[in-house]
Amino acid sequence: MIYYGKQSISEDDIQEVVKVLRSDFLTQGPTIERFEKRVAEYCGAKYAVAVSNGTAALHIACLAAGLGKGDVLWTSPITFVASANCARYCGADVDFVDIDANTYNMSVEVLEEKLRSAKRRPQMVVPVHLAGQSCDMKRIHELAQEYGFMVMEDACHAMGADYLGKKVGCCEFSDMAVFSFHPVKIVTTGEGGMVLTNNEGLYQRLLLFRSHGITRNPDLMTHEADGPWYYQQLELGFNYRMTDIQAALGYSQMKRVDEFVARRRELAARYESLLADLPVRTPYVLEGAEPSWHIYVVRVDFSKVKKSRQQIFKEMRERGITLNLHYIPVHTQPYYKKQGYCVEEYPAALEYYKEAVTLPLYYGLTDEEQEMIVKRLLEVLK
């Protein structure tokens, strides 16, 4: 069975984890900071805070930004629900900005139009780098400067991606950027996430919210410590800590991140060629962006295919290949429909959902397996 995504674990990865298992610290030890430093240096950001998963990273980023009741966060409807849920966890409201019909990322044109006409403007905008392709961050940053909102990049798909010659995650055009290290992501820690920022104030608040709102930093305490055992809870935080075991795996994986991305880019280029004669639309790449290709989404031309998407999924699985779909528009989920969102308000997202199919793409996928995927897809579609 060929799955849509799969981790790549080397013997070096295993040995790094074993070292931690034999050490004094399984959690809250030095490997966490080493991993954070490695990711921050790779992306070109000043600070990084590792947490238990990508959703936790989104959550504490909202908390660090001060998002709360009465505030509103705008994000893309084509994303995993966590990109919106993070605002709801803080008591804030959510609204959506329709996608660009070519990149499937947040449309800057729609964002600008919505900002001009909105009675209630956002405190935070969360562009989602779908499939590992950066949004048009320069233009979003310019709008943030004009309209006074914070920007948090949902870069959970985009480790290793480039935008305007710099790594996604450098936070040149945002206040924070969030990564996920789930097993199907480009770099994995099993489960895990991270927030990057260049803002020291945000960094200190991220550290607080990661671990119960507790600090041992004397500079942050309300009075002098009672002794070496002393700590203070300054905020209502959470237990979102990453373990040293996970961080060891992530640190080791980061040694191969460029290798992972290079192979994914090679596979994406091969798909572009191999799919040329099939009734599918291959991805469009924004000028200035170099995707890291966490996933590979095509859009099926159902005017030329006399089968439903359910049939395509079923028949491909019967041939040993699992497809997926990224994503169901968030505003159509029952929870958000109950909040009063109009399904038809985001037409580009709805059209995308009618046609989108995610093909298998991962570091260990061979050329032969990829050719078989396309061959089987041709059989099914025609």
Structure tokens at 161: 């991606």
Residues 382 and 380: their CA atoms lie apart, in Å, by 6
Contacts of 362 (CB under 8 A, 6+ apart): 3, 4, 5, 6, 7, 8, 184, 264
The amino acid present at 109, given as its one-letter code, is: E
> Which of 118, 115, 58 is closest to 92 using CA atoms?
58
Say if residues 191 and 246 touch (Cβ distance below 8 Å).
yes
Residues 326 and 173: their CA atoms lie apart, in Å, by 25
Residues 3 and 373: their CA atoms lie apart, in Å, by 11
C-alpha gyration radius of the chain: 21
The backbone torsions φ and ψ at residue 58, rounded to the nearest 5 degrees and listed phi first, read: -60, -40
Residue by residue, DSSP assigns 258-274 as HHHHHHHHHHHHHHHHH
Say if residues 87 and 58 touch (Cβ distance below 8 Å).
no
Tell me whether strands 93-96 and 72-75 are parallel, antiparallel or unpaired: parallel
Residues 91 and 329: their CA atoms lie apart, in Å, by 22
Residue by residue, DSSP assigns 38-81 as HHHHHHT-SEEEEESSHHHHHHHHHHHTT--TT-EEEE-SSS-T
Contacts of 323 (CB under 8 A, 6+ apart): 4, 312, 313, 316, 317, 357, 358, 359, 360
338 assigned to active site: no
* Choice among 37, 166, 167, 185 that is catalytic: 185
The backbone torsions φ and ψ at residue 27, rounded to the nearest 5 degrees and listed phi first, read: -150, 160
**Which residues are catalytically annotated?**
185
